[in-house]
Structure 1
Amino acid sequence: MRFGVNYTPSEGWFHHWLDFDLDSVRADLDSIAALGLDHIRVFPLWPYFQPNRALIRPRAVEQLVQLVDAAGERGLDVTVDALQGHVSSFDFLPAWTRTWHRRNLFTDPDVVEGQAAYLRTLAAALAGRPHFLGMTLGNEVNQFSAGPHPDPDRATEAEIDRWLARLLAACEEGAPGRLHVHAEYDATWYQDDQPFTPGQAARHGAMTAVHSWVFNGTAQRHGRTAVPTEHHAAYLVELSKAWAEDPHRPVWLQEVGAPAPLVPPEHAAAFTEATVAAALDCPDLWGITWWCSHDVSRDLADFPALEYGLGLLTNDRVPKDSARVLERAARRERRTPEPRTTALAVPADPAVRSRCAPGGPVYDAYFRLVADGARPTTVLDSRAADRAHLTARGITEVVTPDQVLPTPHGGTRS
């Protein structure tokens, strides 16, 4: 079990790459390491690193290596996201893919080969660093592939499948044997017309990455202390397992945070504690990487209000109560969770995956089970009678959403 944080620099946010200050980075990393965390996830901004398809800036790559080395000196392992892509409501795409040079991010051969060269270059630069864990293709790149993005790069499921395979192969070419993954926001699991599918998330890459944000309708519907809100991250971890071929495929809770005002700052620590406790009860969880390390400075304009206060630490690197919660969890002795023996059947057809979204019958049934004290997981309806698969996962009982009836206490099996 790994505990880490998504690194948001205290000075300049991710624009710090334009005015890279290694001393400031080191001070940030000291404040992270002091919490007893063991890894960070870092975010090169793609247009700053590859402003032209044929130019990957050597100085930017060198600065990334310096950051990784500084993290390693403090006992922090590092994962690197490359195609930024989309972060905190802003899109960062190089000019050679937009407006007069408008080309599809997922299907244009020149763009894809440019992306592959960039990923391979970063991976190769870091391959010899012992504290480098691996690459993530980019942060929530699926938001470019469909609505509600205002200018999506449309692609089919098959085209996305080829894109994932090509770019993960480029990471492997640069740094063989590392933990190379891809990561999407929860539309992959919830949105019927997303070309990034649950099957792709659970089968491509070294492990499955999930991002849990309760502003997706969960906290709005149920409130900050409700079972669905405090167990949403665990739900995504267990939902992802339905599509995995490996019955014990690792799952990385790569992003999870306490968004105000749905989770007010004075309640962020309690939300953090409940969310972490629920996630730690999931077998095969690789790690939890909290969003994020440091607050966004109020000197920066136009961020959504919730983004400014998501840090475990202030801009002055002072730990908040939620940081102390994660610190205690990171230092606590780990226990291996027991298998989850009850599985809820979910539709294998990605065209109806909205049944798993907030308000859908799968989602509601899952949390009725949790409220009644069960520890459910999920299984595809197409595998519900596959004894070998169920046995490999430790599942002894499969129920369908319509069997999980509402009760005053949350739900029970009929």
Structure 2
Amino acid sequence: MRFGANYTPTRGWFHHWLDFDLDAVRADLDSIAALGLDHIRVFPLWPLFQPNRTLIRPRAVEQLVRLADAAAERGLDVNVDGLQGHLSSFDFLPAWTRTWHRRNIFTDPEVLAGQEEYLRTLAAALADRPNFLGMTLGNEINQFSDGPHPDPDRITDEQAAAWLTRMLAACERGAPGRMHLHAAYDAAWYRDGHPFTPAQAARLGAVTAVHSWVFNGTAQRHGPTGSATEQHAAYLVELSKAWAEDPHRPVWLQEVGAPAPHIPEEGAARFTEATVAAALDCPDLWGVTWWCSHDVARSLADFPELEYGLGLLRDDRTVKPAGRTIAALVEEYRGRAHRPPVRSTALVVDAGDATAAPRRSVCAPGGPVFEAWAELAAQGARPALVLSELANDTAHLTARGITEVRTPDEVGPARRPSPSVPHRRSTS
């Protein structure tokens, strides 16, 4: 099992690339490694690294390599997100894609060529580093393609698939054989009509990434200690497997955190332990990467309130209760084979056409699939999920160890029904 953190620098947040201080980075990485973690996910800011379509700043790329080397000195592997893109409610898009130069970042030929070269360049710069895991295309870049973004670049699901395929190929050209992937916020799984789809998430790239945030209606419906809340990450892991063509495709819980006030500060350690334990009960889990390493400094303005306190460590690098919990879990699970029992009972997911999933909101908090799964989890069951198209496919069920298939109607309502909460965009 792999345990890591999304690295949020203590000095200047992700703006630290403007005043890159390797000593400060080393101190941050020391505090991360002291928790026993084995990897970090890092975030270049796209406009700073590629301020012009034909200019990828060599000095910025060199700084990224120096950060990766500093991580290696501390036994930390590195995954790099390329197109940032979007972080903690702020958008970071280069000027050559906005306003007077407004072009669709998913379809414009010149923008696509620029993105390809940027991703290839970053991957190639790190290709010879043993601790380089691979590239993630960007952080939840799907949010630029649809509402509730205030100014989306609208595309179809076919165009989204073409963009993902092309950008993953660029990463592969830069660093062949590494673990290159893409990551979406949960609209891909929950929002009807969203152009980034569950099938794309579960079938393109080396692994499936899921980002679990319980302020999306889960904690509001089920409370901070409800089984649906504490097992939301496990639910997304299992939901991804419904669409995976490989029954043992690895799934990376790439982001998960304890957002206040939905998870009260005094309950963060409990939530952390319960969430990670539930995720570890899912077969084929590659690893858990907490959002985030360090709190955002209060001296920085205009973040949503919940963003300031998501770290395992404070911005002075002292360990928080959630950080102590993660360190204890790492100590407990380090070196153990990850072989949880198969989940033999599966709940049927009928989202319409499996490729486009036009009715995927049945899987969202308040939807019949989600609430039936939550009820089974509250009863102590370990449910899997299977597409309706495969519910009678004996070979598929056997490959996954599924011996019982149930529909949401056969389960009944979840334990804490309440009015549905509108879908919310992910925090990170």
Structure 1 counterpart of 2:342, from 313, 331, 339: 339
Structure 2 distance, partners of 1:369, 1:390, is 19
Residues 374, 414 of structure 2: 8 Å contact kept:
no
What amino acid sits opposite 2:345 in the alignment? T
Structure 2 distance, partners of 1:70, 1:373, is 44
How many residue pairs were aligned? Answer: 410
Quote the offset at 1:367 in angstroms.
0.7
Q: What is the TM-score of this pair, normalised by structure 2?
A: 0.95
Partner of 1:381: 388
Quote the offset at 1:223 in angstroms.
0.9
Structure 1 distance, partners of 2:177, 2:117, is 18
Residues 127, 174 of structure 1: 8 Å contact kept:
yes
Quote the offset at 1:336 in angstroms.
1.4
- CA shift in 2, pair 1:407/1:270, >3 Å: closer
* Structure 2 unpaired stretches of 5+: 418-428
1:354-374 per-position Cα deviation (integer Å, ceiling 9, x unaligned): 000000000000011111121
Partner of 1:8: 8
Residues 256, 291 of structure 2: 8 Å contact kept:
yes
SS in 1 for 2:164: helix
1:91 maps to 2:94: no
What amino acid sits opposite 2:27 in the alignment? A
Residues 371, 409 of structure 1: 8 Å contact kept:
no
1:68-89 per-position Cα deviation (integer Å, ceiling 9, x unaligned): 0000000000000010001000
Partner of 1:354: 361
SS in 2 for 1:138: coil
1:358-403 per-position Cα deviation (integer Å, ceiling 9, x unaligned): 0000000001111112100101000000000000011111111111
Partner of 1:396: 403
What amino acid sits opposite 1:295 in the alignment? D
Quote the offset at 1:289 in angstroms.
0.2
Question: After the TM superposition, which residues 23-102 of structure 1 pair with which residues of structure 2 at under 5 Å, given as runs?
Answer: 23-102=23-102
What amino acid sits opposite 1:343 in the alignment? A
What amino acid sits opposite 1:389 in the alignment? H
Quote the offset at 1:408 in angstroms.
6.9
Structure 1 distance, partners of 2:413, 2:92, is 45
1:215-253 per-position Cα deviation (integer Å, ceiling 9, x unaligned): 101111111000110000000000000000000000000
Quote the offset at 1:267 in angstroms.
1.1
Residues 341, 377 of structure 1: 8 Å contact kept:
yes
Residues 41, 80 of structure 2: 8 Å contact kept:
yes
Quote the offset at 1:348 in angstroms.
4.3
1:133-182 per-position Cα deviation (integer Å, ceiling 9, x unaligned): 00000000010000010100000011111100000000000000000000
Partner of 1:107: 107
- CA shift in 2, pair 1:34/1:344, >3 Å: same
Partner of 1:223: 223
Residues 372, 409 of structure 1: 8 Å contact kept:
no
Structure 1 distance, partners of 2:294, 2:251, is 25
- Over the aligned positions, Cα root-mean-square deviation in angstroms equals 1.1
Residues 212, 233 of structure 2: 8 Å contact kept:
yes
1:319-357 per-position Cα deviation (integer Å, ceiling 9, x unaligned): 111101111111113341000001111024211000000
Quote the offset at 1:406 in angstroms.
3.9
Residues 351, 362 of structure 2: 8 Å contact kept:
no
Partner of 1:303: 303
Residues 342, 400 of structure 2: 8 Å contact kept:
yes
Structure 1 distance, partners of 2:248, 2:159, is 28
What amino acid sits opposite 1:387 in the alignment? T
- CA shift in 2, pair 1:409/1:256, >3 Å: closer
Question: After the TM superposition, which residues 168-247 of structure 1 pair with which residues of structure 2 at under 5 Å, given as runs?
Answer: 168-247=168-247
What amino acid sits opposite 1:290 in the alignment? W
Residues 221, 416 of structure 2: 8 Å contact kept:
no
Structure 1 distance, partners of 2:193, 2:144, is 13
Quote the offset at 1:409 in angstroms.
10
Quote the offset at 1:407 in angstroms.
8.0
Structure 1 distance, partners of 2:61, 2:96, is 19
SS in 2 for 1:83: coil
State percent identity of aligned pairs: 74
SS in 2 for 1:169: helix
- CA shift in 2, pair 1:28/1:407, >3 Å: closer
1:259 maps to 2:259: yes
Quote the offset at 1:296 in angstroms.
0.4
Partner of 1:166: 166
What amino acid sits opposite 1:186 in the alignment? D
SS in 1 for 2:4: strand
Structure 1 distance, partners of 2:415, 2:119, is 52
What amino acid sits opposite 1:336 in the alignment? R
SS in 1 for 2:133: strand
Q: What is the TM-score of this pair, normalised by structure 1?
A: 0.98
1:2-50 per-position Cα deviation (integer Å, ceiling 9, x unaligned): 0000000001000000000000000000000000000000000000000
What amino acid sits opposite 2:103 in the alignment? R
SS in 1 for 2:82: strand
Structure 1 runs, 4 residues or longer, greater than 6 Å off: 407-410
- CA shift in 2, pair 1:74/1:408, >3 Å: closer
